[in-house]
Amino acid sequence: MSALLPVADGRTTWAAARRLLRPHRGRLALVAGLLLLAAAAGLAVPALLGVLVQTATTGGSLAVVGACVAGIVAAALAAAALGALGQTQMARVTESALAALREDVVDRVLHLPAGQVEAAGEGDVVARVSGDVETVGEAATGVLPAVTAALFSVVVALAGLGALDWRFAVGALAALPLQLWSLHRFRRRTPPVYAEARRAEGDRAQAVLQAVHGAPTVLALRDADAHLDAVAATSRTAIAAEMRGATLVGRFANGANLAEALGLGGVLVAGYLLVASDTAGVGAATAAALVFHRLFGPMGVLLFQADDLALAGAGLARLVGVAEGSPARPAPPGRGTGVPAITLRDAAFAYRPDLPVLDGVTLDVAPGERVALVGTSGAGKSTLARLVAGTLQPTAGRVDVGDVPAHAVHRTRPGRVVLVDQDVHTFTGPLAADLRLAAPDADDATLAAALDAVGATWWADLPGGLAEPLGPEGTTLRADQAQQLALARVLLADPPVVLLDEATADLPRSQQAALDTALDALLAGRTAVVVAHRLDQAVRCDRVVVLESGRVVEQGAPADLLAADGPFRTLWSAWRGAGGGDEGVTPPTSPRRSAAPLR
Amino acid sequence: MSETRHDASGYRAEAIRSKGYLAWVMSSPAAPPEPPSPGRMLLRTLTAPGQRLPVALGTLGLCGHQVAEMLVPVVIGAAVDDAVVGRDPRALVGWLGVLAALFVALTLCWRGGLIGTTRAYLRAEHTLRQQVVARVLDDRGGPGRPPGATLSLATSDAVRVAGTTWLLAGQVAAVAAVTTAAVSLLTISVPLAAALAVAMPLAVLVMHRLAAPLERRSDREQAQAADAAALATDLVGGMRVLQGLGASTAGADRYRRTSRALLAARVGAARARAWYLAGSEAASGVLVGAVALAAGWMTLRGSLTVGQLVTVVGLVQTVQTPLTQTGQLMVGLAQKRASAARLHDALAAPRVLPAAVAAAPTGATTLTARVGDDLVLRVARGEVVGLHADTPGAGDLVDVLGARTAADPGAVLLDDVCASTLGPALRTAVHAPPRDAHLFAGPLAEVVAPAGSVDADLLRAAVLDDVVTLLPEGTGSAVAAGGSNLSGGQQDRVRLARALHRDEPFLVLHEPAAAVDSVTEVALAAGLRARPDKGVLVVTDSPALLAACDRVVRR
């Protein structure tokens, strides 16, 4: 939780935004031109109304009135069409830039080092790729066009007022000080209130989420009232914060409205003075009043929605922080050459210097060899597997796959070393799409064959077969089915090195025989390291390595270790002695190649 | 011996007490009240006690604001006529004073409207959310919907139904605005007002027709955006899998395809929106032109003053927004009704369990249960019985014992009380948490013993003591929601420790050691005897755990 992912500072964010928009420079100029013309055409409406008033007061002809009206209609139509063209072009630019950014962010995030994601917490990462992307996206589609159009309207209208007579513009600017002061006060007071509201809403969402996801457990614990009260309490806090926010918005609106009154009063006073001194006609005074009245809408948009843009800016900074702050995307996977060996030389790893997880491990796994890692929880088995996978880097010593450091293999040749652990995530969407993450070009027959090979024959019974959607809107796989799916992915990815970290823990014992066959199919011809709690799996490997407190304490062929009176023998007795009475597994005299263990 | 007697007398006491319980069940409204119909649900957001005052304040406030907005062009016109055209400084001061008063009223009304409506809205949302959560946590079983669907009920649907408060206040205010504009126009020129009364609703009708496909389009666009966000979340959730597989790039490519589809949808929707807006502006421009032509002609003839012309044009421009809103009532209501119907269906979903008609004998000494069709198992207090997980019906039995599904008559007995008469009260005698039971966020001590204090012996029995010593703050260390900061084996041990801390006389454990290593499993097996006062049933396929049981029942 301590080391959140980077957030870009203002300058970096601007630079990134400019870089994203650079390919669209031509189109942006076009957008600016179109919106400027649209605002100018829009201004022609009140100006012509002024001319009409002037004509009417000075007793002009109906023909002039008709011409003015024709001009008004033409100007309104032109303003509408130009505005639509400008907005469409702008959407093209902003949406393209946004799509490029979000794709970049997801790409970078998916390639982030595992350690960094764990340190940041998955919540932060998810917030970036979903919440922030949506906030920025909504701002780009909803707020940005409105604010841009409003900005053009206000600027052009002020220029127009000035063109009528500079004193109209001065009158209108009477609104500005109060507007700026209100905005400033609002900006200063809202962040803590909004932050508190967001925090309270987050707490409430979390309380609701836990109650809903954990409902069966809540009932089993007979704790429903406490959970309901917790949701209610967080909700009351959130409501209080939201009401404080509404009060601030109300005060801000008060300031903004009174500023409008001041500006309108200023324009009317200017009109009176100019008409009274015969400097301007009634038509000009009327036009000025109408121009200013038309500005109420755009000014409101600018004042109120600028805040949404600021919020989106914060989201943008968080997105840019990920996109800019991470290492470049690795080269596309190349096919390895042959089946490599794994070499560890005095490899050590520690999250904290005083608590080594692995402490000087030296180990050689020959090409095509299958090695079992056993030991109690916390012995360092999973850490060793992740060092070989390259998702962690050793703090001392070397871990090589072939002749290359494992983390370099992971970065430059993803897919050459495949690690499957207890994390049995299935990806929402069609079953085939999940499998194609491992083999993008595989046809349906290949996918089906891979599922069959790992014993996942249940796929044929799904209502949609390979097209069956997985997840809440289709089939939710059981844990053991999800593990089979994970094994099928490995078969499809076809890596020369496979690391299985408790990848079969959820499969019921009754499926053991089928599983052994599946594992033989999966691991044949690959260099493999298998972390196993179930020792009957370990004895099917070529070699067993016993880890204890981060060190290798014993290794050798399973039969030899069983014959010797060492740590493995102790583990085996504990495991088998407990289960042996009921359905023990007799160790095979020769591993793997012998018949299936007796039951 | 003495224990048996104690239990027997305890049972008698329970039986006597159960009569009182039965009477209470009969007399009290045992069946939870029927949830209101969708229509009534919408109405209640406005009329429930505590809602009326804020709703009234909010509606009145927004009405006042809209009326004042409509009067602004009227005051501008009057000021132009009296002060500018008439060159009268006293009139100028007078009208400026009126303008100031009008704006003060306008802005205070808006503030009151905002506060009142927001309060009513937030309260309604709160009530609905609590109802959904209470329904999910109903002791006779939730509405039987997947968590995602329930969450969307508690959030989006509750928000939409509560939004009735905004819809009402906004609609009434829009009607008030249109009425004000109509009255103002009538006082200036009856023929002009009559013509506008025909033309403007027509224009609004056309705009609504044009807007309908636009709304569908924007719904689709939002759905696509939600899909893209869901995909990104899903990919991040499976990041370890993707990285382990070297498939991060394939995952990113999958997201890129979804993102490109979203891009196309967004650009298309933006274009549609822009041209709809342009149509609306063009219609408005034509209307302003027509009004200007008529009013200009009338001004030339002298039947309209310059100020009145300004007022008419200003009104036509201002009234379009509220006029467009008035047509949205039916669409808004239909949307809210759909949400209310979804909420109603969930709240009215039939309960899984019958209501209790007897009290659970919390002093019971034996638990008898039928497994599948032909096996009967019996667990007495003080013994640990194993049930092999492969036995047909074993998983179903755990759900029946946990009162997650209804018990068939005669399938489960506590002494001689049939569980089918107990409904949710079965949980007071048997603690049978679901496999992979949820771990709630909080300090470890609170997770393990929510009500009482942590018993060090029970931590040791669950082999949790070595985990605790490794944690930075011992039993005070935070457990994240779902136990996501613990390994699978640690989660199992926390669950077991929590179950061992319970007070119910019978404990049912379903695969309590699925993710722990074999050495820990053996230590944990011994810990199953940590509560000799309880009858413990272990449903597992683990040889180590089964070996530790007094008896093993299997097919």
Domain parsing of chain B, residue ranges: 33-188+329-351, 190-303, 353-555
Q: Residue A161: what pLDDT?
A: 92
Evaluate if residue A566 carries a pLDDT over 50: yes
Q: What integer is the mean pLDDT of A540-562?
A: 90
Q: Residue B18: what pLDDT?
A: 40
Low-confidence residues of chain B, pLDDT below 70?
Answer: 1-33, 327
Tokens 């690959």: give the residue.
A526
For A375, B402, B456, B509, B540, the CA distances from B545, given in Å and listed in that order, are: 19, 21, 22, 11, 7
Q: Residue A264: what pLDDT?
A: 95
Candidates A80, A215, A437; nearest CB to B254: A437
- pLDDT digits 0-9 by tens, B169-188: 999 999 999 899 989 999 99
* Residue environment code for B204-228, b if the CB has 16+ CB neighbours within 10 A, otherwise e: beebeeebeeeeebbeebeebbeeb
The sign one gets for the Cα dihedral A387, A392, A396, A402 is positive
Q: Residue A381: what pLDDT?
A: 86
Tokens 């011809």: give the residue.
A525
* Best residue of B108, B137, B431 to probe chain A, by most A CBs closer than 10 Å: B137
Distance CA B517, CA B200 (A): 77
Q: Where are the alpha helices (DSSP H) in A326-417?
A: 381-389, 406-412
Residue type, B223: A
Candidates A210, A418, A472; nearest CB to B146: A472
Residue type, A502: E
For B120, B363, B364, B413, B531, the CA distances from B5, given in Å and listed in that order, are: 59, 11, 12, 20, 20
Distance CA B292, CA B310 (A): 9
Cβ-defined contact of A215 to B237 (cutoff 8 Å): no
- The alpha-carbon gap from A397 to the nearest alpha carbon of chain B, in Å, equals 22
What tokens does B125 get? 């949302």
A208 neighbors B151 (Cβ within 8 angstroms) = yes
Q: For chain A, what is the radius of gyration of the CA atoms?
A: 35
Evaluate if residue A171 carries a pLDDT over 60: yes
CATH 3.40.50.300 fits A342-425+495-583, yes or no: yes
Please enumerate in sequence order all residues whose Cβ is within 8 A of that of B313, keeping only pairs 6 or more positions apart, or say none: A49, A290, B73, B288, B291, B292, B295
Distance CA B553, CA B378 (A): 9
Determine the 3-state secondary structure of B140 from DSSP.
coil
A437 neighbors B255 (Cβ within 8 angstroms) = no
The sign one gets for the Cα dihedral B469, B473, B475, B480 is negative
Please enumerate in sequence order all residues whose Cβ is within 8 A of that of A450, keeping only pairs 6 or more positions apart, or say none: A435, A442, A488, A489, A491, A492
Q: Could you count the other beta carbons within 10 Å of the beta carbon of residue B526?
A: 14
Compute, in degrees rounded to 10, the torsion defined by CA atoms A526, A529, A535, A540.
20
Distance CA A290, CA B305 (A): 16
pLDDT band at A508 (very low <50, low <70, confident <90, very high): low
Sheet holding A527-531, edge to edge: A417-420, A497-501, A527-531, A370-374, A543-548, A551-556
Cβ-defined contact of A106 to B235 (cutoff 8 Å): yes
- The alpha-carbon gap from A215 to the nearest alpha carbon of chain B, in Å, equals 6
What tokens does B187 get? 């006082």
Rounded to a whole number of angstroms, the distance between the first and last alpha carbons of chain A is 47
Evaluate if residue A589 carries a pLDDT over 80: no
What tokens does A561 get? 């270790």
- Rounded to the nearest angstrom, the gap between the alpha carbon of residue A529 and the centroid of all alpha carbons in its chain is 33
Q: How many residues does chain B have?
A: 555
Q: Residue A337: what pLDDT?
A: 67
Q: Residue B172: what pLDDT?
A: 93
Distance CA A409, CA A417 (A): 8
- The alpha-carbon gap from B2 to the nearest alpha carbon of chain A, in Å, equals 30
Q: For chain B, what is the radius of gyration of the CA atoms?
A: 35
Distance CA B479, CA B468 (A): 12
Q: Residue A358: what pLDDT?
A: 87
- pLDDT digits 0-9 by tens, B236-270: 878 888 888 888 889 999 999 999 998 998 888 88
> In DSSP terms, which residues pair with B509 in a beta bridge?
B538
A163 neighbors B254 (Cβ within 8 angstroms) = no
- Rounded to the nearest angstrom, the gap between the alpha carbon of residue A385 and the centroid of all alpha carbons in its chain is 27
Cβ-defined contact of A210 to B438 (cutoff 8 Å): yes
Q: Residue A4: what pLDDT?
A: 67
Evaluate if residue A590 carries a pLDDT over 60: no
Q: Residue A587: what pLDDT?
A: 44
Cβ-defined contact of B84 to A389 (cutoff 8 Å): no
Cβ-defined contact of B520 to A261 (cutoff 8 Å): no
Evaluate if residue A89 carries a pLDDT over 90: yes
- The alpha-carbon gap from A345 to the nearest alpha carbon of chain B, in Å, equals 23
Cβ-defined contact of B137 to A222 (cutoff 8 Å): no
Mean pLDDT of chain A: 84
Compute, in degrees rounded to 10, the torsion defined by CA atoms A563, A569, A573, A575.
-120
Q: Residue B15: what pLDDT?
A: 38
Q: Which of the two residues, A534 and A599, has the higher pLDDT score?
A: A534
Q: What integer is the mean pLDDT of A525-553?
A: 87
Query: So what's the architecture of A7-162+303-328 in CATH?
Result: Up-down Bundle (1.20)
Q: What integer is the mean pLDDT of A465-492?
A: 85
- Rounded to the nearest angstrom, the gap between the alpha carbon of residue A431 and the centroid of all alpha carbons in its chain is 22
Which residues of B are less than 8 Å from A538 in CB distance? none
Tokens 């009139």: give the residue.
B91
pLDDT band at A585 (very low <50, low <70, confident <90, very high): very low
Q: What integer is the mean pLDDT of A114-138?
A: 74
Residue type, A233: A
- The alpha-carbon gap from B330 to the nearest alpha carbon of chain A, in Å, equals 24
Compute, in degrees rounded to 10, the torsion defined by CA atoms A227, A230, A235, A237.
180
Q: Which of A587, A52, A64, A114 is nearest to B299 (CA)?
A: A52
Q: Which residue of B has its CA nearest to A282?
A: B85
Determine the 3-state secondary structure of B539 from DSSP.
strand
* Best residue of B243, B315, B448, B463 to probe chain A, by most A CBs closer than 10 Å: B243
The sign one gets for the Cα dihedral B403, B409, B410, B414 is positive
Candidates A125, A226, A231; nearest CB to B130: A231
Q: How many residues does chain A have?
A: 599
The domain limits of chain A are 7-162+303-328, 166-279, 342-425+495-583
Please enumerate in sequence order all residues whose Cβ is within 8 A of that of B52, keeping only pairs 6 or more positions apart, or say none: B46
Q: Could you count the other beta carbons within 10 Å of the beta carbon of residue B374?
A: 9
- DSSP H/E element including A531: strand A527-531
For A151, A317, B120, B261, the CA distances from A90, given in Å and listed in that order, are: 14, 21, 39, 18
Q: What integer is the mean pLDDT of A234-252?
A: 93
Q: Which of B162, B168, B71 is nearest to B113 (CA)?
A: B168
Q: What angle do CA B294, B298, B304 make, to 5 degrees?
A: 120
Cβ-defined contact of B292 to A49 (cutoff 8 Å): yes
Candidates B107, B118, B243; nearest CB to A246: B118
Cβ-defined contact of B251 to A437 (cutoff 8 Å): yes
Burial of B49 (0-12, 13-18, 19+ CB in 10 A): exposed
Q: What angle do CA A575, A580, A586 make, to 5 degrees?
A: 90
* Residue environment code for A343-363, b if the CB has 16+ CB neighbours within 10 A, otherwise e: bbeebbbbeeeeebbbbebeb
A517 neighbors B550 (Cβ within 8 angstroms) = no
Residue A127 per-residue DSSP state: I
Q: Which residue of B has its CA nearest to A121?
A: B485
Q: What integer is the mean pLDDT of A41-69?
A: 86
Cβ-defined contact of B519 to A575 (cutoff 8 Å): yes
Cβ-defined contact of B440 to A214 (cutoff 8 Å): yes
Q: Residue A577: what pLDDT?
A: 61
Q: Residue A56: what pLDDT?
A: 81
Distance CA A255, CA A310 (A): 20
Topology at the third CATH level for domain B353-555 = Rossmann fold (3.40.50)
- What is the number of helices (H) and of strands (E) in chain B? 19, 11
Q: Residue A498: what pLDDT?
A: 92
Whole-complex ipTM: 0.84
- pLDDT digits 0-9 by tens, A134-166: 788 888 877 888 898 899 999 999 999 998 899
Residue type, B494: V
